[in-house]
Amino acid sequence: MTSAPLAARLTAPSGPLFFPVTAYGPDGEVDLDVYRTHARRGIEAGAAAVFACCGTGEFHALTPEEFQACVRAAVEEAAGRVPVLAGAGYGTALAVRYARLAEEAGADGLLAMPPYLVLAGQAGLVRHYREVAAATSLPVIVYQRDNAVFTPESVVELARTDGIVGLKDGLGDLDLMQRVISAVRTEVPGDGEGPGDDEAPRGDGFLYFNGLPTAEQTQLAYRALGVTLYSSAVFCFAPEIALAFHRALRAGDDAVAHRLLDGFYRPFVELRAQGRGYAVALVKAGVRLRGLDVGEVRPPLQEPTEGHVKQLAQVIERGHALLDGEGRK
């Protein structure tokens, strides 16, 4: 692994991992000024890292030019205070192109999204991500979900690949994750940087992320596997709640975590399940409820109904009430 600085910055984050939405103006074009405001507010609220133009940021809907402009804007707003990672996806050639655009824009790392559409075998998937990793000097986190699901043996191969530093799990198979973590921990060799290091395991330095939608809902289970990193879409529109939950996890305060899970996260997840694409569309609606007009989602996603937006406002209000003033601004 050549990315120890980034890995070290992500290992024990001081706040949630922030996946900003992409802002569009009334004409449907990317609104970089609003996007900058959204990114800046998230960083100032306590985000430990910015993952620009990923799933919540509608990577699928952006042109290469829009993608690079948004990544550059996030990098400029971060100004080195927190790392900025960018999405990269589609087939290998396009994923490589997006990776290089992100590097040119100043990103600190990449989240490699699943390949477009095809159902590939394990050897083909490993080759795909190795080519993406080889295309730039940026460290790569591989996103497992949908048509990119790996055996433990394949993750070992990825972990042995220079530049690949972690796995984000959007599948939710905890049995598989336990086997993956065990395999990497026991089978990935040392980095050879010092005497005897060739025999020392380095698998414990490989990063794992809970990447399920509304990851807080499952994070207590992932924590039991030793997975402490997770994405937080809620942070986009309710940073106080996301920060309170993050603090509770770090402190081992399960009473606070359970109170937020029962009173806010479970109702939010149940509302999210009411519509396809709500993992993004409902988040953007939440950001608008906070007073920042980030526009609507681009098709093929669709907006939540008026009734669901009203329910979202009520869920957010209940979540804030649960904080009893803690973390409120």
Question: Per residue, what are the HEC states of the chain?
Answer: CCCHHHHHHHHCCCCCEECCCCCECCCCCECHHHHHHHHHHHHHHCCCEEEECCCCCCHHHCCHHHHHHHHHHHHHHHCCCCCEEEEECCCHHHHHHHHHHHHHCCCCEEEECCCCCCCCCHHHHHHHHHHHHHHCCCCEEEEEECCECCCHHHHHHHHCCCCEEEEEECCCCHHHHHHHHHHHHHHCCCCCCCCCHHHCCCHHHCEEEECCCCHHHHHHHHHHCCCCEEEECHHHCCHHHHHHHHHHHHHCCHHHHHHHHHHHHHHHHHHHCCCCCHHHHHHHHHHHHCCCCCCCCCCCCCCCCHHHHHHHHHHHHHHHHHHCCCCCC
Query: Is residue 218 in a domain?
Result: yes
Query: Is residue 73 in a domain?
Result: yes
Query: Is residue 177 in a domain?
Result: yes
Query: Is residue 15 in a domain?
Result: yes
Query: Is residue 272 in a domain?
Result: no
Query: Is residue 262 in a domain?
Result: no
The boundaries of the domain holding residue 40 are 4-239
Handedness of CA 305, 309, 312, 318 (dihedral sign): negative
CATH code of the domain covering residue 46: 3.20.20.70
Query: Is residue 256 in a domain?
Result: no
- Closest among 325, 277, 284, 321 to 302, alpha carbons compared: 277
Specify the number of domains making up the chain: 1
Contacts of 315 (CB under 8 A, 6+ apart): 264, 267, 268, 271
- Distance from C-alpha of 205 to C-alpha of 27, rounded to nearest angstrom: 45
List the pLDDT tens digit at each of the 329 positions of the chain. Answer: 334 588 888 887 889 999 999 999 999 999 999 999 999 999 999 999 999 999 999 999 999 999 999 999 999 999 999 999 999 999 999 999 999 999 999 999 999 999 998 999 999 999 999 999 999 999 999 999 999 999 999 999 999 999 999 999 999 999 999 999 999 999 996 543 333 444 444 466 899 999 999 999 999 999 999 999 999 999 999 999 999 999 999 999 999 999 999 999 999 999 999 999 999 999 999 999 999 999 999 999 999 999 999 999 999 999 999 997 444 44
Q: Which residues are catalytic?
A: 143, 168
Query: Is residue 162 in a domain?
Result: yes
pTM of the predicted model as reported, rounded to 2 decimal places: 0.92
